[in-house]
Chains A and B, each alone.
Chain A
Amino acid sequence: MTSPLPVLSIENLHLDFDTFDGALHVLDGINISLDAGETVGIVGETGCGKSVTVRSILRLLPMPPARFSSGAIHFKGRDLAAASERDMRRIRGLEIALIPQDPMSYLNPVFTVGQQLTDVIRAHGRNLPPAQRSAGKSARERAIELLTQVHLPHPEKQLEAYPHELSGGMRQRVLIAMALAGQPSLLIADEPTTALDVTIQAQILRLIGDLVGRLGLAVILISHDIGVVAKVCRRIVVMYAGTVVEDASAEDLLERPLHPYTQGLLAAIPKLHGDNQQLSGIPGSIPNLLQPPAGCRFYDRCPLRMDVCRTQKPPLVDAGGGQRVACHLYPGPRQEAHYV
């Protein structure tokens, strides 16, 4: 049985940032793929490159000083890394949409919600293939339809509201509606709930989960909070200092983490219930990206490091059951490892 072609496939992506002090090797061979209808969460701490990765999918990074030094980003067969700006404009919003972190910065404060939403609808309407265009509906009707889809109460009234009159949760719903306006096949959510209260966050995550189920979207959800990702995503990718260190189903990753960094990360999260054990942090900090280590980037902070880790980069291999990990502890078939 052949598996269908993945919707998105990032292959061995290397990205550098040219700065005053030299070239920062921000992404060091990223391999992530996503099938239609799949939900993948990318987690990692500051400097891991998760935001840079998704922004390079949409080429939202300033291209000098950022540049792809090698690798490809295949979306439905095309290489986005090599596409022209004109092609990217056709893709952004239409085929791949982005839900950003802070809704207030992404809404123009001097226009009403309705104006901004209908703007987006009309702009995409021109570019949609005829079969997908909303037959006979005006932009306003489509706007109300979208706002209803994202469960915004009283959508007709909200069209006349200005962004500052809406609460944080409602603004985020508006942005989700704008993201859906182009009928994308891939939705990227970059820390969509970080700026929201916990109860509102739960609502928004539930909404995203519903939409995924109903519309069959593929979703990449980025967060520094593993709990958030666990609520929506079937698969979780853990990044560290520009590399993918583990890529597994949510269940496998949370219950049987393989990579020492993942284990450390999970051990550092305080628990809401249960024994009040000592939390262990991960001492040290991320390596200098100007002169990254030759071997594994986690070497300095890894409690289970070996000599080979210092000199050779561990490849991302299948350690069994679809759980992939980049660590010399797992050269092939899956072995048990314990975080001390």
Chain B
Amino acid sequence: MNTASPEVTDTGRPTESWRERHASSIRQMRLYWHTYRRNASAMVGLVLVVIFLLLSLISPWIVPYPADATGAVHMADKLLPPSAAHWFGTDEVGNDILTRLLIGTRLSLEIAVIITGVAAIIGVPLGILAGFSGGWTREIIMRVTDVFLSVPALVLAIAIVAALGIGIVNAIVALSLVWWPGYVRLVESKTLSLKGEAYVDAARLAGASTARILFSHILPNCLSPILVKASMDMGMAILAAASLGFIGLGAQPPTPEWGAMISIGRNYLPTWWWYATFPGLAIYLTVLGFNLMGDGLRDVFDPKSRGR
């Protein structure tokens, strides 16, 4: 005698509201938020990141001298110190540094998102595949990853840019190509530990295909470490792009990229200090913000440090 009726009636819409149905998720999010909020440095990081995001969104509409962003030349205003008209002073062709800095924010965000995004899109699936498959698949993937990891990322990026030609686009391409191994390592080790969980076996018994297991069971449980790493990577990607720009391999003038600005600005130290200082501060605060936020996220997700 079975309880299952082959003709299962459709109950139509669920009786509970959306809010009731997702009460658990909502509560979990609030708990995360409360844990995060109690961490002072994490909040500082969040504030910095939010400011960064806001500025990158609205910069084209708030800059005082829009023309300066693309390098209009006003030699009469060159190298003016910070004043009411130019809060951060002007550069050697008379462009307002504040304007270029703000537009550079948008560029930095693009850089961060593209590099981190591409790295994750390449690295995460490879990592899950390596961790889950084992055998030769894993060997091949991990050894290739090792090769990439053994060369300092920046050096490799320089080599790639040298081959492709200098410019911000190629710099982004180069960095995206060298960034993914970190994700492979992270995800592979997490997948290895998740592979043995009973719910993966239960899914197999329920008839789940390998693809379904990877997508529906493994991947969601890898998200926390991926999110933490991605958050920190955003800042580090900006720093890496700025480094390439600093040595002249990345963005070229008149693109208002922070690293490129410092590269030129350093020639004007110490007398015209504002030229190199403000872009440097921008990089510093942005990277700091993402790092602090990443640390905060890690503490939120780590069950051991939570709840006290």
Contact = CB atoms under 8 A, between A and B. Distances in A.
B4 to A, nearest CB: 27
A19 B35 CA distance: 12
B143 interface: no
Nearest to B35: A20
A178 to B, nearest CB: 26
Interface residues of A, number: 3
Contact of A65 (B34, B35, B308): B308
Nearest to A21: B307
Contacts of A20: 34-35, 307-308
A57 B308 CA distance: 22
Interface in A20-77: 20, 65
Interface in B85-129: none
A181 B308 CA distance: 35
Interface centre among B35, B307, B308 (most CB of A within 10 A): B308
Contacts of B34: 20
Q: How large is the interface on B (under 10, 10 to 19, 20 to 34, 35 or more residues)?
A: under 10
Contacts of B308: 19-20, 65
Interface in A101-133: none
Nearest to A65: B308
Interface string B273-308: 000000000000000000000000000000000011
A289 to B, nearest CB: 15
Nearest to B308: A65
7 contacts: A19-B307, A19-B308, A20-B34, A20-B35, A20-B307, A20-B308, A65-B308
Contacts of A65: 308
Nearest to A20: B307
Contacts of B307: 19-20
A67 to B, nearest CB: 13
Q: Which are the 7 A-B pairs with shortest beta-carbon distances?
A: A20-B307, A65-B308, A19-B307, A20-B34, A19-B308, A20-B35, A20-B308
Interface string B26-56: 0000000011000000000000000000000
Interface in B219-272: none
A20 B37 CA distance: 12
A71 to B, nearest CB: 24
A114 to B, nearest CB: 32
A65 B307 CA distance: 10
A157 B35 CA distance: 51
A19 B27 CA distance: 17
B29 to A, nearest CB: 15
A18 to B, nearest CB: 9
A141 B35 CA distance: 52
Nearest to A17: B308
B33 to A, nearest CB: 12
A105 to B, nearest CB: 15
Nearest to A64: B308
